Amino acid sequence: MSLQGLKKRKSEVLISVSPMGWLFIFFVIPTFLVIAMAFRSADPYGGIGEQWTLNTLKDLRNPNYPLIIWRTVWLSIISTAICILTAIPAAYYISRIKKKYQDIILLFIIVPFWINFLIRIFAWKVFLHPEGMFKQLLVTLHISGPDSLLLYRPEAVLVVIVYSYLPFALLPIYASAEKFDFHLMEAAYDLGAGRLQAFIRVFIPGIRQGLLTAIIVVFIPALGSYVIPDIVGGPSAEMIGNKIAQRTFIDRNLPHASALSAILAFAVIIPSALALTRRFFKEKNSGSLGI
Amino acid sequence: MKRSRFPFYMTIAILVFFYLPIVIVFTQSFNASRFGGTWKGFTFDWYFKLFSDKNIWHAFSNTLIIAFSSTAVSVVLGTLSAFALYKYKTKLQITHNILVYLPLVMPDILMGISLLLFFVSLKLELGLFTILLAHITFSISYVAMVVLGRFQDFDYSIFEAALDLGATWWTAVKKIMIPYLMPGIAAGGLLAFTLSLDDFVITFFVSGPDSTTLPLYIYSMMRHGSPSVINALSVIMVLFTFVVVFISKKLLEVKE
């Protein structure tokens, strides 16, 4: 290596060492620690025991866990699907109006999400409360009986997850739709496609990059939901995040919490790795095809 | 071909969905009835109760201390990170890139529990300091991404021209690069600041007995306190956010 190259290398390392070092110490090591601690025993003081053991993993054979994991997965899948299916037509509409109105609508979409996350969830609790206005309205209209509950059930969790993550689906889909060339739709109509056919076979493939991003940014945080089921869910709508928090704060069994977190970590890593490799191969292929 | 009205209706429905709960909270904060099944008259009581609560002010000052200091550190680290990612295209930077991306896809609860385990293993006492370390950790990636976006349009030849004309490396950074990056650094800093103000889950895991932040306090009020007082607090926080956003918009407009 030349002297100049060596000098360049030295300054690169000097610049990179502090951010990389920070993330290594406070992100990489703790993440591996979660997996390692799943093989430790708990000590009676709420700390981590000295011995390595497989008992913590055996304790995971709690009869409630498969049900909770299953609920976490289906709530995440359905909320992702609802976010995507409602975001597509909205993004289509927004990207076709005048630029000035586009900016206004986007601002209206973002503004509620400047409000603190807890307060937005709390607003739903107030909204769905058994003694609240909405419930009274439903009872007056005979849509719901006076004894039925709107809160503390999986459907409430679903609605609030959709509420919390819909903008994250809407924005990347809008970003792709805005770049989409709508003349392609006209061409499809001229070639005899119906409205729906053109939408599904021309528009949807045209925005697939945005769709992929939207799926990732809704599905992964949904899997890790903890505050939403905690506040509007109740015991019949617990997700894996609630169990991690309970083992941490109520029983103070950190190894058990780590074992559950390790399961969640794998559930997160697999879809994101799939998406990343897909994107990687796509870039490779489109490069060679010149698209 | 006549356009379908369906996308229009869907957009309207989404906007109604987004604002409905907020409108309810606003009206309830002035309702004398606790859960607001019926309107029992207009009142400011909840606001008086809120302002007489001393713990809120303590939590608020903790929140500000953490937000300011974590923003300061993460802006420096994030900008360095963006610079390295922009300037060098080596194997080290591929690793660096992955390292910066991963915290963005990590669910909060996993980051919270992993940092808790880390601090417990190091026998660090949980408190404002551990919250600060955690907030810096999740902010770095956001700052790096925003600043990197600004770097993408940076013309490196201007920087090299300054060097050729006899500027030292540090002068060129100070006079050319930092002024150019400033809008990106400011936007990244603002994002880090708001993320820190807003964070509940990670803070919840790494906080100690005397380090309650505003979101932690709101959470404990939601569990044990009066919902109407939180309605009042929500209204104040929403108005506060609007004022901050309005001022920062005005500031940016003046600059441009």
CATH code of the domain containing B69: 1.10.3720.10
The answer, yes or no, to whether residue A289 has pLDDT greater than 60, is no
C-alpha–C-alpha distance, residues A127 and B16, integer Å: 14
**H or E element in which residue A40 lies:** strand A40-42
d(CA A220, nearest CA chain B) in Å: 7
A93 touches chain B (CB under 8 A): yes
Q: Convert A231-249 to b/e letters by CB count within 10 Å (16 or more is b).
A: bbbbeebbbbbbbbbbbbe
Q: CA of B228: which chain A residue's CA is closest?
A: A126
Q: What sign does the CA torsion over B209, B213, B216, B217 have?
A: positive
d(CA B249, nearest CA chain A) in Å: 13
Q: CA of B22: which chain A residue's CA is closest?
A: A123
**What is residue A279's predicted lDDT score, i.e. its pLDDT?**
58
Domain annotation covers residue B248: no
Q: Would you give the DSSP letter of residue A231? A: I
Domain annotation covers residue B39: yes
A184 touches chain B (CB under 8 A): no
pLDDT (average), residues B16-22: 87
Tell me, yes or no, whether B12 and B83 share the same domain. no
Fill in the amino acid letter for A235. P
Which residues 6+ apart lie within 8 Å of A253 measured at CB? A42, A46, A247
Tell me, yes or no, whether B128 and B213 share the same domain. yes
How many Cα atoms occupy the beta-carbon half-sphere of B52 within 13 Å?
7
A83 touches chain B (CB under 8 A): no
C-alpha–C-alpha distance, residues A198 and A222, integer Å: 32
Tell me, yes or no, whether B85 and B205 share the same domain. yes
* Strands (E) located in A83-157: none
Domain annotation covers residue B19: yes
pTM of the predicted protein model? 0.85
Query: Which domains are seen in chain A, by residue range?
Result: 63-289 (1.10.3720.10)
Candidate from B17, B92, B245 with C-beta closest to A163 = B17
In a mutational test of the B interface, the residue from A4, A7, A20 whose CB has the highest number of chain B CBs within 10 Å is A20
A189 touches chain B (CB under 8 A): yes
Indicate yes or no: CB of A114 within 8 angstroms of CB of B241. Answer: yes
**What is residue B106's predicted lDDT score, i.e. its pLDDT?**
87
Higher pLDDT, B195 or A131: B195
Whether A268 and A34 have beta carbons less than 8 Å apart is answered as no
Tell me, yes or no, whether B27 and B95 share the same domain. no
**What is residue B255's predicted lDDT score, i.e. its pLDDT?**
54
**What is residue A284's predicted lDDT score, i.e. its pLDDT?**
46
C-alpha–C-alpha distance, residues A202 and A289, integer Å: 20
pLDDT (average), residues A224-231: 91
The token pair at B124 is 């660090």
C-alpha–C-alpha distance, residues B142 and A220, integer Å: 17
Indicate yes or no: CB of B116 within 8 angstroms of CB of A254. Answer: yes
User: Rounded to 10 degrees, what is the CA torsion of A195, A197, A203, A208?
Assistant: 150
Tell me, yes or no, whether B130 and B39 share the same domain. no
Q: Which of A204, A208, A202 is nearest to A184 (CA)?
A: A202
Tell me, yes or no, whether B65 and B17 share the same domain. no
| Residue A226 C-alpha from the chain's centroid | 12
The answer, yes or no, to whether residue A59 has pLDDT greater than 80, is no
Characterize the bridge pairing of strands A48-52 and A40-42. antiparallel
Least confident of A152-161, B46-55, B189-198: B46-55
- ipTM value for the complex: 0.86
Tell me, yes or no, whether B112 and B146 share the same domain. yes
Whether A14 and A21 have beta carbons less than 8 Å apart is answered as no
Q: Would you give the DSSP letter of residue B37? A: S
B44-70 pLDDT, tens digit each? 888 888 888 888 889 989 999 999 999
**Domains in chain B, number:** 2
Indicate yes or no: CB of A93 within 8 angstroms of CB of B99. Answer: no
Q: What sign does the CA torsion over B184, B182, B64, A17 have?
A: positive
Residues B85, B90, B91, CA angle at the centre, nearest 5°?
105
Tell me, yes or no, whether B41 and B101 share the same domain. no
Q: Which of A168, A166, A157 is nearest to A239 (CA)?
A: A157
DSSP string, A167-206: HHHHHHHHHHHHHS-THHHHHHHHTT--HHHHIIIIIHHH
Indicate yes or no: CB of B7 within 8 angstroms of CB of A131. Answer: no
Indicate yes or no: CB of A34 within 8 angstroms of CB of B215. Answer: no
Domain annotation covers residue B246: no
- Measured between beta carbons, the chain B residues lying within 8 angstroms of A48 are 117, 120-121
Indicate yes or no: CB of A48 within 8 angstroms of CB of B121. Answer: yes
The answer, yes or no, to whether residue B253 has pLDDT greater than 50, is yes
pLDDT (average), residues A41-63: 71
The answer, yes or no, to whether residue B77 has pLDDT greater than 90, is yes
Q: Quick count: other Cβ atoms within 10 Å of Cβ A259? A: 23
Domain annotation covers residue B255: no
Domain ranges, residue B64: 53-225
Tell me, yes or no, whether B63 and B128 share the same domain. yes
Q: Which of B157, B158, B149, B152 is nearest to B185 (CA)?
A: B149
Domain annotation covers residue B183: yes
**What is residue A93's predicted lDDT score, i.e. its pLDDT?**
93
How many Cα atoms occupy the beta-carbon half-sphere of A172 within 13 Å?
17
- Measured between beta carbons, the chain B residues lying within 8 angstroms of A227 are 200-201, 219
The answer, yes or no, to whether residue A286 has pLDDT greater than 60, is no
Domain annotation covers residue B188: yes
Indicate yes or no: CB of A170 within 8 angstroms of CB of B14. Answer: yes
Whether B115 and A30 have beta carbons less than 8 Å apart is answered as yes
**What is residue A288's predicted lDDT score, i.e. its pLDDT?**
36
Domain annotation covers residue B38: yes
A245 touches chain B (CB under 8 A): yes
C-alpha–C-alpha distance, residues B85 and B147, integer Å: 10
Tell me, yes or no, whether B10 and B106 share the same domain. no
Candidate from A23, A89, A126 with C-beta closest to B10 = A89
In a mutational test of the B interface, the residue from A11, A17, A23 whose CB has the highest number of chain B CBs within 10 Å is A23
B129-169 pLDDT, tens digit each? 999 999 999 999 999 998 988 888 788 888 889 889 988 88
Q: How confident is the model at residue A139 (pLDDT cuts 50, 70, 90)?
A: confident
Candidate from B18, B20, B109 with C-beta closest to A226 = B109
Whether B226 and B34 have beta carbons less than 8 Å apart is answered as yes
Tell me, yes or no, whether B41 and B57 share the same domain. no
| Residue A46 C-alpha from the chain's centroid | 31
Fill in the amino acid letter for A132. G
Tell me, yes or no, whether B118 and B163 share the same domain. yes
Indicate yes or no: CB of B140 within 8 angstroms of CB of A22. Answer: yes
pLDDT (average), residues B120-128: 90
Least confident of A79-93, A199-213, A258-272: A258-272
